[in-house]
Structure 1
Amino acid sequence: MENTVQSVDRRIRVKPRAVPEPPATVTVVVPCYNYANFLPQAVHSCLAQEEVEVDVIIVDDASTDSSLSVAKGLAATNPNVSVLSHERNKGMVATFNDGAKIATGEFLVRLDADDLLTPGSLARATQLAGAYPSVGLVYGHPIHFSTESLPEARSQASAWTIWPGQDWLRDRCRSAQNVITSPEALMRRSVVERIGYQAPLRHTPDMELWFRISAFADVAYIHGADQAWHRDHPNSMSAKEVDGCLDLGERYEVFETLFGGLAGQIPGAEELLRDARTALVNEALYTAGLELDRGLPDPALFAAYRAFAKDVDPEIEGSALWETLSRRINNPAPAAGANVLPLLRRVRGRIRTNRNWRKWHRNGVF
């Protein structure tokens, strides 16, 4: 599938600039399941956006609380709000897709009913997308919060970075990590219609869609401003406990789905998939090593990490990394203080994690 707009030929970082065009149109799809208490705040954060024309589609996924009546009340008082309701619960993928398929805006945003857009978010994102027609995905920094009041958000964009989409995707494959939460992302609807909507993945449909967009369109990041508030609370999807091995499996499914579909047609797709598998295998074995450092508190989890690595890459069993881990199984972590190597490994891991977090906070990638 060819990109019909000329892509940037390299990563560039530029100062934001105004684009003298009519206000962009944005459709915000708000999937909702039992979030009646949060829904009005989410919708109002969309309707308060300035310098853009916004319409909101609330998709109620057969909520058992008062979400549907709240949604209908919001639609009754604002002509830019419409409601689509499911008679039975279809899950988060179908809920977003059903709304996205009837969107009319030039741009598309998915905003979960417990999240909010920051003031000026859509104007900043559409300004960038208007300046670079090859960009299919724009994102920025999200604020995670769990307090009653909203944290202060930065509103001044200091720079834009634009990547050739496949360069951005290559980096994501090499780390096998996602860098986008969700509410801070804006998509060009024509690109989504061309490549398809969310795939039926349990926990990672957003991640796969971001990566699929990047296979066929450029990606951009807004520096300096906060683009959304992401609410952390016990009932949110992001708060659900997912053990490390399950998370690896979910990300593995992202790349298999991605390159088993349209993205498998792009140049170098096999190498990108191989890079992602290698990153996941290395992460699994590294994490298994940390379990050994901790004295193997959960032997089943340790075995699961090793089994995952072997399933993804059967040839890993003869590698130096595998052999090193095998030797350590017969020589578990010594008593506290007897050996500093486990401590050093944990310290190095924390340093790497903190470094990646700082890079992501500044630049949207690591």
Structure 2
Amino acid sequence: MGQRISTGPPAPPALAIVIPCYNYEAFVIRAIQSVLSQDRQDVEVVVVDDGSTDGSWSAILSTGVPAFRIPNSGARNACLYGLDHTTAPFVLFLDADDALKPGSLAKIIPMLDARVAKLQFALTRIGPDDEVISTAVPALDDYRDSEELARNVLAEGAYRSPPTSGNVFRRDLCEMLREADYDKFVDGAIVFAAPFLGDVVSISEELGCYRVHGSNDSGLGRTPEAAVLERDISRFRRRTEHLGRILARLGRGHEMTPPDQMYFHLERSLYRDIAVGRRPPAATCMRLVRRVWQQRDLRLKNKVGLSAFFTLAAMLPGSRSKAMLAYRLQTGRRSAFGLLSAIVSDQPR
């Protein structure tokens, strides 16, 4: 069982923090200290080393936190191992290259109650040396909701949600990870099943940090290759199929839009076309524009920007589209002027 992280009279743990680690020797101590420094008696922490081949295990042991070392089997299995060694009713899976901000737990924990299925909070993007790259992408709004989010999921298979480290899940939701043997990660079907099982609490304040560096599996900050985009499309379909099975048990599966008509699938298919130098079909671009304006959780400026992006993607030659895509997926600040500069430049940025 995870050991509570401060001295004094024991308190029932309200939140478990599981830190899976694979070859993040350079960052894992910072992740652990970002939790320990908050000195909470109602938090338990467990670190699971997923068969690292660098010095991660020694770094983890140096912190004195409860830790386990398992054969390499992917983040999902490492998280499940940590889940089985904690008891709190809510769980945060904190990636070993990310961190919580000081005082974040004091804001998160009071907002957790039995009706909450998931709490999410925004993450500041930082670089390898903790330098701030940008504010949160995606930006989040403050709300507590289930019905509107459920409608979004039925239509698009998703709603605006942060990376893994910005999510707190109720334990029964985490149990559904055991069904996801098709996936190495945890930020899939359970994220989008949440509004069908309780409320989702969203916090716009950036309470944690998402680190962008050369080893991110997400590829953030890099123009994706066609093979990576194919992988993303395939993963989305498997996650959506899993979500459909969960919703079928709740009597809602028949209400879902087919995966290949959902926004993410259409968007990634367009990116794949651009990556291989193929002009996206105009019909796909126009369908995406319609989808953008149907999404209620997008701000007006985002709708305008995305509509312009998809329209230009249908019109520009391959080299210009690639430059435009590289600019859109970069991690720093973006602007209409920057996008235009990327389009007219001879080389993709």
TM-score of the aligned structures, taking structure 2 as reference length: 0.67
Q: Assess, with a 3 A threshold, how the Cα gap between structure 1 residues 141 and 23 changes in structure 2: closer, same or farther.
A: farther
- The residue type paired with residue 106 of structure 2 is A
Describe how 1:20-59 pairs up with structure 2 within 5 A.
25-49=14-38, 53-59=42-48
AA matched with 1:263: L
How far 1:49 sits from its partner (Å)? 2.2
1:186 corresponds in structure 2 to: 168
Q: Distance in 1 between matches of 2:215 and 2:269?
A: 31
Distance 1:47 1:285, change over 3 A: closer
> Counterparts of 2:95 and 2:123 in 1: how far apart (Å)?
13
- The alpha-carbon deviation at position 226 of structure 1 amounts to 0.7
After superposition, give the CA deviation of every residue in 1:40-62 in whole Å (9 maximum; x if it has no partner).
11001011225662221010111
Offset of residue 101 of structure 1: 1.6
1:69 corresponds in structure 2 to 58
1:216 and 2:197 are equivalent in the alignment: yes
Is residue 257 of structure 2 the alignment partner of residue 269 of structure 1?
no
8 A Cα contact 1:163 1:218, kept in partner: yes
1:270-295 deviation digits (Å, cap 9, x = unpaired):
22243x4421564466557x64xxxx
What runs of 5+ residues in structure 1 fail to find an aligned partner?
1-21, 76-80, 307-319, 326-338, 359-366
Structure 2 partner of 1:125: 108
CA apart distance, 1:188: 2.1
1:161 aligns to 2:143 (yes or no): yes
State percent identity of aligned pairs.
Answer: 22
> Is the CA contact (8 Å cut-off) linking 1:93 and 1:198 kept in structure 2?
no
Letter in 1 for 2:249: Q
Deviations 1:86-138 (A, max 9, x none): 1x2111111111101221223211011111011222222222223xx311100
Report matched runs for 1:330-349 at 5 Å. Answer: 342-343=315-316
Mapped contact 1:30–1:113 kept (Cα < 8 A): yes
| Letter of the 1:96 counterpart | C
Aligned 1:1-366 pairs, distance under 5 A:
25-49=14-38, 53-75=42-64, 81-86=65-70, 88-130=71-113, 133-151=114-132, 160-164=142-146, 167-177=148-158, 179-193=161-175, 195-197=176-178, 199-202=180-183, 205-223=186-204, 225-239=205-219, 241=224, 243-260=228-245, 262-274=246-258, 276-279=259-262, 282-283=266-267, 291=274, 298=277, 321=283, 342-343=315-316
Contact 1:170–1:272, Cα closer than 8 Å, also in 2: no
Distance 1:186 1:98 in 2: 17
Q: Whole-Å Cα distance in 2 between the matches of residues 69 and 340 of structure 1?
A: 48
The offset of 1:263, in angstroms, is 2.5
Closer, same or farther in 2 for the Cα pair 1:159/1:70, shift >3 Å?
same
**Residues 153 and 226 in structure 1, CA contact (< 8 A), matched pair in contact too:** no
Alignment partners' CA distance in 2, 1:73 and 1:49: 18
TM-score by length of 1: 0.64
Which amino acid in structure 1 is aligned with residue 93 of structure 2?
A: R
Q: How far, CA to CA, are the matches of 1:108 and 1:341 in structure 2?
A: 43
**Equivalent position of 1:336 in the other structure:** none
Kindly name which structure, 1 or 2, has the bigger radius of gyration based on alpha carbons. 1
Is the CA contact (8 Å cut-off) linking 2:80 and 2:177 kept in structure 1? Answer: no
CA distance in 2, matches of 1:256, 1:340: 29
Deviation per CA, 1:136-186, whole angstroms, max 9, x where unpaired? 1000111111151354999xxx9841111x531331343345622111111
CA gap of 1:234–1:266, structure 2 versus 1, over 3 A, is same
Quick one: which amino acid aligns to residue 106 of structure 1?
P
- Structure 1 position 31, deviation (Å): 0.5
SS of the residue corresponding to residue 236 of structure 2 reads helix
Q: CA RMSD in A?
A: 3.9
d(CA) in 1 for partners of 2:35 and 2:127? 20
Counterparts of 2:316 and 2:25, CA distance in 1 = 47
